[in-house]
Amino acid sequence: MTDIKPLLKRLYEINKEIMLYAGIYNLLDWDRAVLMPKMGSLHRADQLSLMMTSIHERMTSKELNDIIQTLSKKENFDKLTELQKALVKRHEWKLSRLNKIPKEHVEEFSKLAGIATMKWEEAKDKNDFAMFLPYLEKIVAMKKKEASYIDPERHPYDVLLEDYERGMTIEKLDKVFAELKKEIMIILNKVKSSKHYNNEKTLDGLKFSEQEQKQTCMEIASMILGTDERFLIARSVHPFMTTISPDDFRITTSFRSEPFFSFSSTAHESGHALYESQYPKELAGTILFDAPSLGLHESQSRIWENQVCRSMQFWKYYYKKYQKRFDALKNISLKDFFKMINVVKPSLIRIEADELTYCMHIIIRFEIEKQMIEGTINIKDLPKIWNSKYKQYLGIEPKSDALGVLQDVHWSQGSIGYFPTYALGTMYSAMIFNQMLKDNPKLESEIAKGDFIYMRSWLKEHIHKYGASMATAEIIKKAIGRELEHKDLIDYFRKKYYMIYKL
């Protein structure tokens, strides 16, 4: 009979080591984006590669494989607690992928991604896709090879999707995105037919102090996160959030000429931080201290960015303070400000997109990267393909690579299959918020008082407390009673934008 106690002890020790390496990797990456001088890029690529290789070695070590194999045997598995079973199952799934990828591939790819990210930044700055092209071609080739290592029988894009949204497939995405695209286009065309369309006032051209923007960013983060000293907000080119440890969460934001971008970006990243800060303490130091998918993670940021911070209820509470801070707003009413931050205007930049058309940006990227992996398009033709899709779906066309195909960092990092999670998270967020409203009819009046206690506790109880111990589909079904669908999001869009545009 196997004594499982020493095996479990060792399993937790290895998990802690893996998570420590992951925290070091995240800290190095955060520093790269926030503080590191440009000349440090090449050495930082080597440092990140070393960390990633070390994580891969520990995740695929013979010792860990033997432990998981032994604990997976029925006579041993039945003795485990539910949390221990979840830990073993998640390791089984990860090992079923990682064991098939050679260490040399991991090392080569992480170095390539580090250099490619630097080249992407340079190409974007110089507005020259050709500078980035050879690196993107290598990235795509290596991701296809990675998919073939893991499962040569499946569609390579389905294999890559698993890293970000386990259980998701091209077939499912094609179906839900086709429905979503159709419904958004109907609403968008109706909005465009309104006599109020293109006559809206915007915040463009008004001047807002960056120092004042920083203060409002700190305030929204505090409203969402509560009184918690585990958070730090810094500035980066592209807003993001990363976890260094269970007591160290880093948020970054970015500033534009108008203040709502930095405000909503901070709300978005604070939603990510709240999620990870509310994982149960018993998951700390294990690979369950994570979200089961990036789609679910994204829902936790989108719900604060959109359902809360773009709502009339929130601004009834916060607008007077916000208005007082910025002189440019002193003659703008709450009603007009609400319309200004919810103007529908198809734009070129994903992270600056209006709420209604945001998912169209994601669908465009999904369609392109799926074709890149299938090999049905030539990567050198990406600028032309990108521009054509923007013209077809949004009626606008980029005039430069920087405003088009070079605007996102994801492909330079090898994150192919990541983009769909943004739209999935947006759909999940609408479903979750609807359920919160059903469970607490007073929720909107609480938001109008700046009271987010219920929201934080509901999210913790129904979403956050599971970490990665359950699959996304299970968590959503348990919390809401339904599986993923686009209806809630479309209903939310109709109610909001038909009111704003008097349709």
The span from the CA of 376 to the CA of 399, in Å, is 25
Sheet holding 241-245, edge to edge: 231-235, 248-253, 241-245
- CA-CA distances (angstroms) from residue 20 to 66, 162, 244, 290, 472? 22, 24, 8, 14, 25
User: Which alpha helices (DSSP H) does 4-102 contain, by range?
Assistant: 4-34, 41-59, 62-72, 74-77, 82-98
The span from the CA of 367 to the CA of 370, in Å, is 5
| Whether the Cβ atoms of residue 290 and residue 467 lie closer than 8 Å to each other | yes
- CA-CA distances (angstroms) from residue 119 to 8, 112, 286? 44, 10, 34
Residue 250: strand, helix, or coil: strand
Instruction: Tabulate helix, strand, coil % of the chain (nearest 5).
Output: 65, 5, 30
Half-sphere exposure in the Cβ direction for 48 (13 Å, CA): 24
Whether 269 is catalytic is yes
Residue 235: strand, helix, or coil: strand
The span from the CA of 204 to the CA of 201, in Å, is 9
Residue 184: its H or E element: helix 170-193
Question: Which one from 165, 258, 269, 298 is the annotated catalytic residue?
Answer: 269
- CA-CA distances (angstroms) from residue 113 to 23, 42, 105, 132, 412? 19, 11, 12, 12, 6
- CA-CA distances (angstroms) from residue 386 to 28, 289, 376? 32, 37, 14
Name the residue among 325, 320, 305 with its Cα closest to residue 211. 325
Place of tokens 């991604």: 113
Residue 3: strand, helix, or coil: coil
| Whether the Cβ atoms of residue 325 and residue 260 lie closer than 8 Å to each other | no
Residue 225: its H or E element: helix 210-225
- CA-CA distances (angstroms) from residue 391 to 92, 345, 385, 397? 45, 14, 10, 5
Interstrand relation of 241-245 and 248-253 (parallel, antiparallel or unpaired): antiparallel
Which active-site residues does the annotation give? 269
